[in-house]
């Protein structure tokens, strides 16, 4: 397995398959009364968060704890670091000196995990860096899709919303296209990044035209700042053209599912009642997040030279 | 001062229309004779057989950080870096602290350079007070003080206000000065950390569109036409900027332009690992931009090569990509990059290279005794280099105080053997001469 997980680009399709297959076993652990296996006993995982994200941090924390690793949480302030030139490198080296085995890093600055990986011996796992990537989100998304469709090959996935600022979109496009799915990015032109031909995704500005063709409708959070940056006239207008409401749900294929990385802006990208539909698997994504992160930590830290069959689970 | 005979080198001197193997005899700081089989008399004979002898390089764009950030560079360390790069004249940008927006700072910078006697240090003055883009700086005072400031710029930023720039151009024209701009429409580029394109989208970094440079450049050329001012475009980096300059020249406007070794050889793809030593402003552009920029350099649309040597402290570069300041150092690697990529690559002849690194920039800055011709009576400002020497860049060996070099660990072609400034060997085989008689050339 790889030393660091900085970007989905680092994983081959077979490595992705391995992560997902391994996650199956760990998902089962999560349903037991005693949800803990001793795989990473004596190993230390540090959650280094320079940007608050309680959900992602808790998910990683649970994953590490269920593998019996020791977990420390370090909350940095990206603003102080960025503003005062206070050293991100010093923080990294401090953690290194304490002997952590893995650093799960969330940072508002794209590329921060890349920088970190040059300064430490520990494995670095990107838990979201600026508008760059969020690879574990993509893996849990694949896992969640796989529960509903037999194969990724030829699957049609629409990712709708603020593609420009979305690390989830970057990781999901890379992961899905790698696995053979066809991705369509749907957004107003101002929220589509420049020069993205190389992403291998189709582009559409018209949600209603695309919806009937999709197997998966993946909605991204659209933040209020986009209105202030003149990227959209207003969130109301965004919702009018690109929000998923009941009327638009009726345009979807009967078996198509709805996904969202959370946290949702109900009433903007997704209507409140749509979020709670049967076909919305947003809560499953959260559950699967823990299993997929356990799988990754296990493969990256615990199982370097152990065969998969030896996993003491099940 | 000891006389020197450079024996058996190939003299490449575009200003003197010379390209031949010959000896160069230096006496009293000046060229005494040029020819074959010269009698050294009592001169020290330096055998430069197989090497190129050329007028010393002239850099229109360096940041020396003194006064204000002497932890990053000083006039002494920057001059030493220039010596090791073969430069006998460097033009220091005014974005120091205090800003070089008055005669006192300009004279201090020039005098310190003269006192050191390693290379000619020419201060550039700012166009506006404190680089604030609000009020004209003391252009007349700087142009007429002992430092004789000729090039004025707010480099680091462009002047955003068109009316103010118009006034600056008109005013400095009266002193025979040059308006130089870092062309950047900040309303388009603000917040951008790299070139806007395929890679910025992939890396999730906000980009600066090429159009931010092109819009500002087009505006500046329009204003140069309006005012009749001499205009010099700093670090041109995009394909359409080259086209804009080509058109301005075709229209007969007094416009010149420089390009940097990094914009001529590196692309935005270099940023895939978020290595902050590749973060620079203007940003590294697309392969197409590089290709067109090279063609512009080859056909003379781009007049000269300038390094935009910009030292930054290690702790500032060792940060998140977005937090790191833009800029890289280039004085000690310019020859190796240009020789290896552009001369060996077949784009430029040796003569073309010397013209763009010495002759033309010396003319732009109006420097007497720089850029050749290498003829009897001229000041002996020379570089001697081995055009085929391959060497690996080790920033630990730099004379610069900083290490923010994108070519670290890379193999370059072409190495400076000797730098002669005002008749004295100031650099030899990677060492700066310690025997410099301080203050001798004030
Ligand atoms: Zn500049």
Same domain flag for B353 and B285 = yes
User: Where a domain ends, among B313, B346, B365?
Assistant: B365
> Can you give B287-350 as a three-state secondary structure string?
HHHHHHHHHHHHCCCCCEECCCECCCCHHHHCCCCCCCCCCECCCCCHHHHHHHHHHCCCCCCH
From residue B192, alpha-carbon distances to B133, B195, B245, B274, B328 in Å are 20, 8, 24, 14, 17
Provide the CATH number for the domain around residue B303.
Answer: 3.20.20.140
Q: In the predicted model, is pLDDT for residue B113 greater than 60?
A: yes
Give the contacts of B222 (CB within 8 A, at least 6 positions apart). Answer: none
Same domain flag for B261 and B338 = yes
Question: pLDDT value at position A86?
Answer: 53
Q: In the predicted model, is pLDDT for residue A314 greater than 50?
A: no
Q: Which residue of A has its CA nearest to B320?
A: A112
Q: In the predicted model, is pLDDT for residue B129 greater than 90?
A: yes
Spatial distance between the Cα atoms of A6 and A23, rounded to a whole number of angstroms: 19
Determine the residue among B188, B320, B324, B325 to mutate to test chain A binding: the one whose Cβ has the most chain A Cβ atoms within 10 Å: B320
Range of the domain at B394: 4-53+376-432
Interface list for chain B against chain A, based on CB atoms closer than 8 Å = 196-198, 200-207, 209, 273-274, 276, 315-316, 318-323
Spatial distance between the Cα atoms of B392 and B369, rounded to a whole number of angstroms: 33
Range with the poorest average pLDDT among A134-143, A297-306, B176-185: A297-306
Nearest CB neighbour to B316, from listed A85, A195, A197: A85
Same domain flag for B101 and B237 = yes
Count of domains observed in chain B:
2
A179 C-alpha to ligand 1 centroid (Å): 44
Nearest to A131 by CA among A163, A84, A85: A163
Q: In the predicted model, is pLDDT for residue B441 greater than 50?
A: no
Q: In the predicted model, is pLDDT for residue B84 greater than 80?
A: yes
Mean pLDDT value of segment B159-170? 98
Of B268, B303, B308, B386, which is the active-site residue? B308
Nearest to B263 by CA among B325, B188, B182, B323: B182
From residue A257, alpha-carbon distances to A155, A261, A263, A284 in Å are 12, 14, 18, 12
* Ramachandran region, residue B247 (left: φ > 0; alpha: ψ -120 to 50; beta: rest): alpha
Neighbours of B295 (CB within 10 A): 14
From residue B382, alpha-carbon distances to B37, B110, B388 in Å are 20, 20, 19
The vertex-B139 CA angle with B252 and B233, nearest 5°, equals 35
Burial class of residue B135, CB neighbours in 10 A (0-12, 13-18, 19+)? exposed
Residue B174 domain-assigned?
A: yes
Model confidence at A227, pLDDT cuts 50, 70, 90, reads confident
Element (H, E) at B186: helix B186-189
ipTM summary value: 0.92
Q: List pLDDT tens digits, range A66-75.
A: 999 999 998 8
Residues of A in contact with B318 (CB under 8 A): 87-89
Same domain flag for B144 and B261 = yes
Does residue B308 carry a catalytic annotation?
yes
Same domain flag for B323 and B398 = no
User: Where a domain ends, among B346, B365, B384?
Assistant: B365
Question: pLDDT value at position B420?
Answer: 98
A273 C-alpha to ligand 1 centroid (Å): 54
Model confidence at A302, pLDDT cuts 50, 70, 90, reads confident
Question: pLDDT value at position A80?
Answer: 53
**Domain covering A8-132+286-306, topology:** Rossmann fold (3.40.50)
From B175's Cα to the closest Cα of chain A, the distance in A is 41
Same domain flag for B44 and B65 = no
Burial A130-157 (b: 16+ CB within 10 A, else e): bbbbbbbbbbbbbbbbbebbeebeebbb
Q: CATH 3.40.50.1370 spans which residues of chain A? A: 8-132+286-306, 148-280
Spatial distance between the Cα atoms of A280 and A282, rounded to a whole number of angstroms: 6
Range with the poorest average pLDDT among A50-59, B100-109, B141-150, B271-280: A50-59
Provide the CATH number for the domain around residue B48.
Answer: 2.30.40.10
B284 C-alpha to ligand 1 centroid (Å): 13
Q: What is the DSSP string of A210-279?
A: HGGG-SEEEE----THHHHTTSSS-HHHHHHHH-B-HHHHTTS-TT-EEE--S---BTTTB-HHHHTSTT
**If one looks up domain A148-280 in CATH, what number appears?**
3.40.50.1370
Strands A202-204 and A182-186: parallel
pTM: 0.94
The answer to whether the bond into B254 is cis (omega within 30° of 0) is: no
From residue B306, alpha-carbon distances to B258, B334, B410 in Å are 6, 9, 20
From B67's Cα to the closest Cα of chain A, the distance in A is 21
Q: In the predicted model, is pLDDT for residue A246 greater than 90?
A: yes
Same domain flag for B284 and B310 = yes
Mean pLDDT value of segment A187-198? 95
Residue A189 in 3-state DSSP? helix
Same domain flag for B87 and B173 = yes
Give the contacts of B432 (CB within 8 A, at least 6 positions apart). Answer: B80, B83, B84, B118, B399, B426
Residue B440 domain-assigned?
A: no
């Amino acid at each position: 397995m790889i030393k660091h997980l900085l970007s989905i680009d680092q994983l081959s399709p077979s490595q992705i398959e391995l992560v997902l297959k391994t996650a199956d076993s760990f998902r089962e652990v999560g349903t037991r009364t005693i949800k803990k296996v001793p795989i990473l006993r004596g190993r230390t995982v540090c959650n280094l968060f320079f940007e608050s994200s309680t959900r992602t941090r808790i998910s990683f924390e649970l994953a590490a704890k269920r593998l019996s690793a020791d977990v420390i949480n370090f909350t940095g302030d990206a603003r102080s670091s960025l503003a005062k030139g206070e050293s991100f490198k010093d923080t990294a080296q401090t953690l290194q000196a304490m002997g952590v085995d893995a650093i799960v890093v969330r940072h508002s600055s794209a590329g921060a995990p890349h920088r970190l990986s040059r300064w430490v011996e520990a494995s670095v796992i990107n838990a979201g860096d600026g508008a760059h990537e969020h690879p574990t989100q993509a893996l849990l998304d694949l896992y969640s899709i796989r529960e509903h469709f037999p194969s990724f090959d030829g699957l049609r996935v629409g990712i709708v919303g603020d593609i420009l600022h979305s690390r989830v979109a970057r990781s999901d496009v890379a992961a899905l296209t790698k696995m053979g799915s066809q991705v369509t990015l749907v957004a107003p032109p101002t929220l589509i990044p420049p020069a993205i031909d190389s992403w291998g995704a189709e582009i559409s500005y018209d949600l209603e035209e695309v919806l009937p063709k999709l197997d998966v409708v993946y909605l991204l959070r659209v933040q209020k700042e986009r209105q202030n940056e003149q990227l959209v006239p207003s969130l109301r207008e965004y919702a009018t053209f690109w929000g998923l409401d009941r009327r638009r749900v009726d345009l979807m294929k009967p078996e198509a599912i709805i996904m969202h990385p959370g946290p949702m802006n109900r009433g903007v990208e997704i209507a409140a009642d749509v979020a709670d539909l049967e076909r919305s698997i947003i809560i499953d994504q959260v559950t699967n997040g823990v299993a997929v992160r356990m799988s990754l930590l296990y493969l990256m830290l615990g199982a370097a030279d152990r065969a998969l069959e030896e996993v003491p689970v099940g | 001062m000891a006389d020197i005979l450079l024996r058996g080198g190939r003299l490449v001197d575009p200003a003197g229309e010379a390209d031949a193997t010959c000896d160069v005899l230096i006496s009293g700081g000046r060229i005494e004779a040029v020819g074959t089989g010269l009698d050294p008399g009592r001169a020290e004979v330096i055998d430069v057989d197989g090497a190129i002898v050329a007028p010393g390089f002239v850099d229109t764009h360096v940041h020396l950080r003194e006064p204000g950030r002497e932890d990053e560079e000083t006039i002494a360390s920057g001059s030493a870096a220039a010596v090791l790069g073969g430069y006998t004249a460097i033009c220091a940008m005014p974005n120091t602290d205090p800003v070089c927006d008055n005669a006192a700072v300009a004279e201090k910078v020039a005098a310190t350079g003269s006192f050191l006697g390693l290379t000619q240090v020419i201060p550039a003055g700012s166009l506006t007070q404190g680089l604030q883009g609000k009020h004209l700086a003391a252009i007349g005072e700087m142009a007429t003080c002992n430092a004789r400031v000729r090039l004025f710029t707010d480099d680091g930023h462009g002047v955003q206000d068109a009316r103010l720039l118009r006034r600056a151009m008109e005013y400095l024209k009266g002193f025979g000065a040059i308006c130089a701009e870092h062309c950047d429409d900040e309303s388009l580029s603000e917040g951008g950390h790299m070139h806007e394109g395929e890679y910025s989208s992939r890396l999730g970094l906000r980009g600066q569109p090429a159009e931010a440079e092109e819009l500002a450049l087009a505006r500046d050329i329009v204003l140069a036409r309006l005012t009749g001012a001499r205009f010099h475009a700093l670090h041109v980096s995009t394909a359409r900027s080259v086209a804009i300059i080509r058109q301005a020249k075709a229209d007969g406007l007094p416009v010149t332009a420089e390009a940097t070794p990094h914009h001529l050889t590196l692309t935005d793809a270099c940023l895939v690992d978020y290595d902050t030593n590749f973060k620079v402003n203007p940003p590294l552009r697309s392969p197409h931009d590089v290709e067109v920029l090279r063609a512009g350099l080859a056909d003379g649309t781009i007049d000269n090569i300038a390094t935009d040597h910009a030292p930054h402290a290690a702790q500032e570069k060792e940060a998140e990509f977005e937090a790191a300041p833009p800029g890289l150092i280039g004085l000690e690697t310019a020859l190796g990059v240009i020789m290896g990529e552009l001369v060996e690559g077949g784009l430029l002849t040796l003569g073309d290279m010397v013209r763009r690194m010495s002759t033309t920039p010396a003319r732009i800055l109006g420097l007497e005794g720089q850029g050749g011709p290498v003829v009897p009576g001229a000041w002996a400002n020379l570089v001697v280099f081995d055009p085929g020497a391959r060497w690996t860049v080790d920033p630990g060996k730099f004379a610069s105080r900083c290490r923010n070099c994108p070519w670290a660990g890379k193999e370059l072609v072409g190495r400076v053997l000797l730098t002669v400034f005002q008749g004295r060997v100031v650099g030899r085989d990677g060492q700066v001469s310690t025997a410099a008689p301080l203050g001798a050339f004030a």
